[in-house]
Structure 1
Amino acid sequence: MRIGIANVQVPFVHGGAEVHAQNLVEQLRARKFEAELITVPFKWYPPQQLIDSIAIARMLDLSEANGVRIDRLIGLKFPAYLMPHPNKVLWILHQYRAAYDLWDHPEFGDLINLPGGQAVRETIRYADNRFIPEARAIHANSRNVANRLAAFNGIAAAPLYHPPAQAERFYGDDAQDYLFFPSRITNLKRQDLVVEALALCREPVRVVFAGAAEAPAYVAAITQRVRELGLDERAVFAGFTSDADKLKLYAECRGVVYPPVDEDYGYVTLEAMLAHKPVVATSDSGGPLEFIVPGETGLVCEPTAPALAAALDALWQDRVRARNMGTAGHAHYAAMGISWDVVVDVLTA
């Protein structure tokens, strides 16, 4: 079977969605499918670009390539999942969130404040409502993404979980004196909230942040706030790390901090579980909450600095409890049966 994976690519940006798409291609090829990643460049500004992107996606003919039929198309992200194909299956990573759940949150999604934003929002929703149902099967990256699709579009989708990249390489080791927050630096991940929480901690909690900066202004504001609060020794920004360094940071931390805003899926949570580490998330973190059992494999608190500070203190105070929650998280991951075998079977059925 020849399978095309339809995705978008922001030039010079390589994040979780890009890793996800490439992993899917590799997993299909490992199971003897002929798979190819098909991407289109994506730009979301000015807003008219979004409408143009929808039109481009709809005009593409991916029924065949070089005179040979493409048997199946698997669509991942907006607007690539709108590409027409007679045998299309969707595995939606997320919709264009600024037109949906982030519409009323301009601090995270700016479409509401841009010229013509309302009309663009309506066009995006119209396209999703009309063309997503063309697929012969619709799956979502997580239950959180499926719930959004149901709430905003009235379209049902089944959550289909998958392992993070290099899942087999994660390991646990003796805990050192730091918590770990691995993620790209952006306001949706809320590194600023963790910094404010650190200032309120009663314990000498130390957090190592690792990840590339997405918005220079956001990073500059956080750096300034760290200096103002005198947290230079307790809020350590390691920047982009190699795979080996990231694995070691996971293995040797006391626990993982991950309080994003309504995350689609959240590789960080699964990676922490594979490394035998508990996770601290917030009640509005979205996808991570599908994997955390509060009080057993991690802690979930309200998305405020005082509440997060109390959770960080609790994890810091009791090494034994933190270790036991990490062990329980690893067992919980195994019990969920998350595997690429399942994913490939579902998407090629």
Structure 2
Amino acid sequence: MARADGRDGGRGPDRLPGVHLGEGGRTASPWGRDRDGKPAVTSLRIAVVAPAAVPYTRGGYERLWTGVVNHLNERTDHRAELIKLPFPETTLHEVIDGYRRFSELDVGGFDLVLTGKYPGWMVRHPRHVIYLAHTLRGLYDTYPVEWVHCSDPRAEDARIRLGGIPESADIDTVLGIYSSLVTELGADHPDFAHPGPLGRALVHALDRIGMSPQRVVRHSAISHTVARREGYFPPGVGVEVMLPPTTLELTPKAGGEYFFTASRLDDPKRIEMIIAAMSAVEGDTPLLIAGTGPARERLESAAADDPRVRFLGFVPDDELTSLYAGALAVPFVPRDEDYGLITVEALGCGTPVVTTSDSGGPTEIVRDGANGFVCEPDGRSLGRVMNALANNPDLSTAMSAHCVDSVADINWPNLGRFLTRATPGPRHHPAPARAGGRPRLVLLSTYPIHDPRGGGQLRCFHLYRHLTESFDIDFVTLTDVDSPEWTASAEPGLTETAVPRSRAHHDAEVAASVHAGVPVSDLLGGSRIALTPRYLSVLHERLRGAAAVVLIQPYMLPALDIAGCELPVVLDNQNVEAVLKDQMYLSGPEADLVRAQVSRVEAAALSRARLSIACSQEDADLLQRLYPAAGAPSVVIPNGVDLDHLDFVDPRERVTRRLRWAEAYGDSGGELRLGLFIASWHSPNLRAAEWIHEMAPGMPEVRFLMAGSHTQAFDPATLPPNVIQLGVIGDATKHILLGTVDVALNPMLEGSGTNLKMVEYLAAGIPTVSTSFGGRGVAPADSGFYRVAGEDEFADLIADTVQREPTDPHLTRMVRRAQEHVRARFDWSVLAGRLTPHLEKLVRAD
């Protein structure tokens, strides 16, 4: 077996930087834990395993792994080695031999193995991460569909058997079938033609084994185009996406006197289309074409009558960046490109890119009209765009800043962190076959919804995932500036693509918040969305073929305007934003300006909407009073609860759980009582929390457990000793608390929407003390489902509740009736069923 253990100078695994020997002489995992108990990566020895083309060529794939290895070695504490084996693939026999040799490669001396191309992923390692560029495309998505059957019955039988080999099989099973056929048929038999149906079955079986989740800890891809291709990944596996950067030192844009493109000169790059487009370009603007390849002679012949078209041949890297920077635009129009580093390189130099709607990878980055243009895949459409740029060179200059900003986050530090991360992040799940004719909704939000914690996230995640019986749901959301872009699917029918804010977008939000003296990230998230052109590019792609759009809050309305969206719009009003912001913001001219902007965008969104969703009837009435001209029909869909994952805990069991919890605090006598308040960081919640802080010293026997992001607004050192700040908590912790505490608190005096915490309290069977305002949209004050208190008696009612026996008939009857009320009216499946006919009517009407 070939060995590539990464050891040099006799240095054994006991001397690896950041790695120590555990008990029994085994190497301890370099993935430790940080102070918060989260996975933390120390220094790793990393093997990058890749095939070397024969004859050798240096394309985008080779440059990618060179860049990864150089970055990891020069800019991080990791040590990486690029391990390449020659891989000729002219014949099927060469291909199968390459798969065999990579499967025999021993990389046991490394902590992490990265692969990205066939047959490199046949290597075995307990921490194998695939960062896929492409499979052997000639046997996958570009394979001729008419080539189905083998000519010889023995080969046909083998082809059928290969299709049934499971991913758990050993590679020897496949190689055994292949070897037997070579013996029976002879190596020169026509069924061994490459490409061909037998070779396709062999390679698919080998890839199925090599890429199996049993052998790979993380599956990822260089683009969403690659991640979505049918058959590239094992069925149902999650695929993370990170766009790779370039190894070139990019040059800032200087002028714009010519069109420039750089590609391998072969059919898939469609250089002929660019040459044909030049016939529509007026004047003497030249087209410079860099690159070599088998189609050069034919392309030169096609351009023979146009002296403006010049072929430069091979261009070294330092000249390449200068050519990008000096170009008016870079037309790049391949057919279904995996990714296209040319796009990143041109945009990084500040030069817009012109691509086509079927070009694949480039369309993930190019946003039509912002950092380039996306046209139809024909010479006439491409020519119109190129002619417009030639006649208006200032347009290219105006786009330059957007171009650079759109790829600012595609860099080596982000990719390095992504590849060496210890645990998988949000993933792109290849979408299952869409139901024939099922309408698709595109939802826009200023925050991501997967791994939901806050009330808005929980509403988005659970309400819309329960709509997937009738609709396909595509979320397009904004996330933090330093996060990678990702696409995730929690279940069939619901996907989310989260796009990080650009640096310019983030800085604009921060500056506006400082100037106004209040946080305005939601407002600026939408009003300055043009600063994150990648979001608009993703949105433009998702809108194709959609039936309707749902705005989660009004703030992303400007994105629809920029995208030129004419689909029917639904507005999900999680709050009455004008009222909520008015309560949150202090007085002053800057804050007043923000208030006015919020009111304007809320009014505009309601006027645009064909359906308005409110969280309570009170909110629906208030929106009608504030914006009487809007006129959109409304439906009340309150916040709900996921009853499938939230248990009702009866009073006796609740006491048992609380006693176990109290023992951990040294209360063996059972005198300790637990109160719970869950809330996010909003001004009404902060005031409610302050009220609890004021009441706490008068009830020393109660531990007030404060959960959620609102806790970040308070210094624990200034709080009473019986107020315990838990911070942001996950679902598991929340469910434990909901099944343990003696009383739940909802001392709300202002705000908007429906209190999600109130619904969860009642569903879990917690005796709840609330103001009448806190019960809005859930149950009226006289319903008997919770205990109602005003400001003067709230503390007394808490004390009375925790002192009652668990068998108290009043409390027992109250919590059981409350739980029945919630189950009948607030289960997310019930609420989704209530919303579905309204959406179906909207879609049918359009």
Given the alignment of the two structures, is residue 158 of structure 1 paired with residue 236 of structure 2, yes or no? Answer: no
Match among 206, 218, 222 for residue 299 of structure 2: 222
Task: Provide, for residues 106-141 of structure 1, a one-character-per-residue CA deviation record: whole Å limited to 9, x for no partner.
Answer: 9xxxxx994561111112122222221221111111
For 2:78 and 2:366, the matched residues in 1 are separated by: 34
Match among 128, 141, 145 for residue 222 of structure 2: 141
Inter-CA distance 317–304: structure 2 relative to 1 (3 Å threshold): same
Could you tell me which residue of structure 2 aligns to residue 46 of structure 1? 91
Could you tell me which residue of structure 1 aligns to residue 331 of structure 2? 257
Range moving further from structure 2, 154-163 or 252-261? 154-163
For 2:194 and 2:300, the matched residues in 1 are separated by: 32
Could you tell me which residue of structure 2 aligns to residue 317 of structure 1? 391
Could you tell me which residue of structure 1 aligns to residue 416 of structure 2? 344
For 1:261 and 1:116, the matched residues in 2 are separated by: 20
Task: Provide, for residues 44-70 of structure 1, a one-character-per-residue CA deviation record: whole Å limited to 9, x for no partner.
Answer: 22122222222222122221xxxxx21
Q: Which amino acid aligns with 1:237?
A: F
Could you tell me which residue of structure 2 aligns to residue 21 of structure 1? 65
Match among 310, 313, 323 for residue 236 of structure 1: 310
Aligned Cα root-mean-square deviation (Å)? 2.1
Q: Which amino acid aligns with 1:4?
A: A
User: Is the 1:282–1:301 contact (alpha carbons within 8 Å) kept by the matching residues of 2?
Assistant: yes
**Structure 1: unaligned runs, 5 residues or longer:** 64-68, 107-111
Q: CA deviation at 1:243?
A: 2.3
For 1:152 and 1:118, the matched residues in 2 are separated by: 20
User: Is the 1:146–1:156 contact (alpha carbons within 8 Å) kept by the matching residues of 2?
Assistant: no
For 2:342 and 2:300, the matched residues in 1 are separated by: 23
Q: CA deviation at 1:242?
A: 2.3
Inter-CA distance 162–3: structure 2 relative to 1 (3 Å threshold): same
Q: CA deviation at 1:92?
A: 0.9
Inter-CA distance 152–118: structure 2 relative to 1 (3 Å threshold): farther
- 1:75-224 matches, within 5 Å, as 75-104=115-144, 114=193, 117-133=196-212, 134-148=215-229, 153-154=234-235, 155-167=237-249, 169-176=250-257, 178-211=258-291, 213-215=292-294, 218-224=295-301
Tell me the secondary structure at the aligned position of residue 23 of structure 1: helix
Q: CA deviation at 1:152?
A: 6.6
User: Is the 1:75–1:82 contact (alpha carbons within 8 Å) kept by the matching residues of 2?
Assistant: no
Tell me the secondary structure at the aligned position of residue 267 of structure 2: coil
Inter-CA distance 119–182: structure 2 relative to 1 (3 Å threshold): same
Tell me the secondary structure at the aligned position of residue 299 of structure 1: strand
Inter-CA distance 199–345: structure 2 relative to 1 (3 Å threshold): same
- The percent identity for this pair of structures is 27
Inter-CA distance 38–220: structure 2 relative to 1 (3 Å threshold): same
For 1:61 and 1:242, the matched residues in 2 are separated by: 36
Match among 114, 117, 140 for residue 74 of structure 1: 114
For 1:52 and 1:302, the matched residues in 2 are separated by: 42
Q: Which amino acid aligns with 1:10?
A: A
* Structure 1 stretches of 4+ moved >6 Å: none
Inter-CA distance 48–282: structure 2 relative to 1 (3 Å threshold): same
Q: CA deviation at 1:277?
A: 0.9
Given the alignment of the two structures, is residue 55 of structure 1 paired with residue 100 of structure 2, yes or no? Answer: yes
For 1:304 and 1:98, the matched residues in 2 are separated by: 24
User: Is the 2:135–2:232 contact (alpha carbons within 8 Å) kept by the matching residues of 1?
Assistant: no
Could you tell me which residue of structure 1 aligns to residue 364 of structure 2? 290
User: Is the 2:45–2:79 contact (alpha carbons within 8 Å) kept by the matching residues of 1?
Assistant: yes
Q: Which amino acid aligns with 1:210?
A: A
User: Is the 2:99–2:122 contact (alpha carbons within 8 Å) kept by the matching residues of 1?
Assistant: yes
Tell me the secondary structure at the aligned position of residue 244 of structure 2: coil
User: Is the 1:170–1:271 contact (alpha carbons within 8 Å) kept by the matching residues of 2?
Assistant: no
Q: CA deviation at 1:162?
A: 2.3
User: Is the 1:198–1:205 contact (alpha carbons within 8 Å) kept by the matching residues of 2?
Assistant: no
Q: Which amino acid aligns with 2:60?
A: G
Could you tell me which residue of structure 2 aligns to residue 109 of structure 1? none
User: Is the 2:140–2:231 contact (alpha carbons within 8 Å) kept by the matching residues of 1?
Assistant: no
Tell me the secondary structure at the aligned position of residue 171 of structure 1: coil
Inter-CA distance 191–90: structure 2 relative to 1 (3 Å threshold): same
For 1:312 and 1:114, the matched residues in 2 are separated by: 43
User: Is the 2:50–2:116 contact (alpha carbons within 8 Å) kept by the matching residues of 1?
Assistant: yes
Could you tell me which residue of structure 2 aligns to residue 66 of structure 1? none
Q: Which amino acid aligns with 1:183?
A: S
User: Is the 1:263–1:285 contact (alpha carbons within 8 Å) kept by the matching residues of 2?
Assistant: yes
Larger radius of gyration between Structure 1 and Structure 2: 2
User: Is the 1:251–1:275 contact (alpha carbons within 8 Å) kept by the matching residues of 2?
Assistant: yes
Q: Which amino acid aligns with 1:43?
A: P
Inter-CA distance 165–234: structure 2 relative to 1 (3 Å threshold): same
User: Is the 2:350–2:400 contact (alpha carbons within 8 Å) kept by the matching residues of 1?
Assistant: yes
Instruction: Considering Cα pairs closer than 8 Å and 6+ residues apart, tell me whether 1 or 2 has the greater RCO.
Output: 1
Inter-CA distance 311–245: structure 2 relative to 1 (3 Å threshold): same
Task: Provide, for residues 171-226 of structure 1, a one-character-per-residue CA deviation record: whole Å limited to 9, x for no partner.
Answer: 111222x1110122222211122112223444544210012x122xx111111122
Inter-CA distance 113–304: structure 2 relative to 1 (3 Å threshold): farther
Inter-CA distance 277–115: structure 2 relative to 1 (3 Å threshold): closer
Tell me the secondary structure at the aligned position of residue 351 of structure 2: coil
Q: Which amino acid aligns with 2:206?
A: A
Q: CA deviation at 1:150?
A: 6.0
Range moving further from structure 2, 129-138 or 96-105? 96-105
